[in-house]
């Protein structure tokens, strides 16, 4: 067995039966013809920034080492850029900014690989991946074919996509095509960004590189570095409730923050719910909710995946009893 402690950001001490580094897509084709996908338990693992192993993985880790970035075409004011799925997400964002492209600056410093981005439809500070997504290329383990999914086929939602459901165990993302611009227009609709840009003494119109630096500063101040303290970022998704439910809670908790999505949907920050439930900064053995951001569950050193999952369940229970709201994990639990 091989230790995978350093291949996932929770840094739990777990093992896998074996690991294969995937450095080119042809390896997947070879595995298919050998019958690997039909008879083996496997996991295609990128940066490991959104997974929680509750124990040893009795199967094969396919470690995503696919690399490469290239301009595919320019049309209608957009440039389509193809990123291999094993490329580091944040490094890819910085690469686009260095090349003069804008569109990804609000998504700076999100951990993980490019291939994980469409699975989660990652988002931050008013921007989601679906806003710049064109298509992706994937290996279908059922047929051995390379298939393409375009934006409208991915069923993107809030931290959702078809790749977390119907295609969770049937396709492996090889590359992702994004549509970026060079017009310099940035999204600074979130107040924290504007405040930080003012602190940085940046002048309007704001450069994409300035917005990126502002986002990096905000995230570094709020979130623990997984290289120092094991975590997978936000453990839970922000729940969405209806207006009647919201009005009842607002009457009882007048300081409750909320974001209107539509006439029928209101998003409540999960971090606020967890903090109000008494978990922020509270430690349970070697795990707990982070002192600066209750939404982030951490491993102080020796916590097991089961310890963290047990804490998550306790948080869910308390939030449900206090607010009548169920919060769903954003992290992929591997058992």
pLDDT tens, residue by residue, 264-322: 999 999 999 999 999 999 999 999 999 999 999 999 999 999 999 999 999 999 999 99
Catalytic residue among 87, 105, 128, 330: 330
User: Would you state the pLDDT for residue 39?
Assistant: 85
- The pTM for the full model equals 0.91
Three-state DSSP at 115 gives coil
User: Would you state the pLDDT for residue 40?
Assistant: 86
User: Would you state the pLDDT for residue 303?
Assistant: 97
Catalytic residue among 128, 159, 212, 277: 159
**H-state helical runs in 208-280:** 208-222, 243-252, 270-276
User: Would you state the pLDDT for residue 211?
Assistant: 96
Which residue positions in the chain have pLDDT lower than 70?
none
Distance, in Å, from the CA atom of 33 to the CA atom of 229, rounded to the nearest integer, reads 41
Catalytic residue among 85, 92, 234, 277: 234
Q: Which domains are seen in the chain, by residue range? A: 2-64 (3.30.43.10), 69-180 (3.30.465.10), 230-334 (3.90.78.10)
Q: What is the SS3 string spanning 127-164?
A: EEHHHCEEEEEEEECCCCCEEEEEHHHCCCECCECHHH
Q: Which residue do the tokens 């039966």 mark?
A: 17
Annotate 273-292 with b (16+ C-beta within 10 A) or e (fewer): bbbbbebbeeebeebbbbee
List the one residue out of 78, 22, 16 whose CA is nearest residue 51: 16
Residues in the chain: 335
Non-local (6+) Cβ contacts of 191 within 8 A are none
Distance, in Å, from the CA atom of 222 to the CA atom of 192, rounded to the nearest integer, reads 12
Whether the link from the prior residue into 205 is cis, omega within 30° of 0, is yes
Catalytic residue check, 330: yes
* Whether the Cβ atoms of residue 42 and residue 140 lie closer than 8 Å to each other: no
């Amino acid at each position: 067995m091989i230790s995978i402690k350093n291949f996932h950001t929770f840094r739990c001490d777990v093992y896998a039966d074996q690991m294969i580094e995937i450095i080119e897509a042809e390896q997947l084709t070879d595995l298919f013809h050998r019958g690997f996908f039909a008879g083996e338990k496997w996991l295609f693992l990128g940066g490991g920034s959104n997974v929680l192993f509750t124990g040893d993985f009795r199967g094969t880790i396919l470690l995503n080492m696919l690399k490469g970035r290239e301009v595919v075409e320019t049309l209608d004011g957009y440039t389509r850029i193809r990123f291999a799925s094993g490329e580091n997400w944040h490094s890819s964002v910085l690469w686009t900014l260095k090349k003069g492209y804008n569109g990804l600056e609000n998504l700076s410093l999100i951990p993980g690989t490019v291939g994980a981005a469409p699975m989660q439809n990652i988002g931050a500070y008013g921007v989601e991946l679906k806003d710049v997504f064109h298509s992706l290329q994937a290996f279908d383990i059922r047929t051995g074919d390379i298939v393409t999914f375009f934006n409208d086929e991915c069923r993107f939602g809030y931290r959702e996509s078809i790749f977390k459901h119907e295609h969770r165990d049937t396709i492996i993302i090889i590359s992702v095509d994004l549509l970026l611009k060079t017009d310099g227009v940035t999204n600074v609709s979130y107040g924290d960004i504007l405040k930080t840009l003012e602190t940085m003494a940046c002048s309007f119109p704001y450069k994409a590189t300035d917005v990126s630096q502002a986002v990096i500063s905000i995230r570094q101040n709020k979130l623990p570095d997984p290289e120092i303290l094991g975590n997978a970022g936000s453990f839970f998704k922000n729940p969405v409730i209806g207006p009647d439910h919201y009005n009842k809670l607002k009457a009882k908790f007048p300081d409750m923050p909320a974001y209107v999505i539509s006439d029928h949907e209101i998003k409540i920050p999960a971090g606020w719910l967890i903090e109000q439930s008494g978990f922020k900064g509270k430690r349970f053995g070697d795990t707990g909710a982070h002192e600066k951001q209750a939404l982030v569950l951490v491993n102080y050193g020796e916590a097991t995946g089961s310890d963290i999952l047990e804490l998550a369940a306790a948080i869910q229970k308390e939030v449900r009893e206090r607010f009548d709201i169920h919060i769903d994990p954003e992290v992929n639990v591997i058992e």
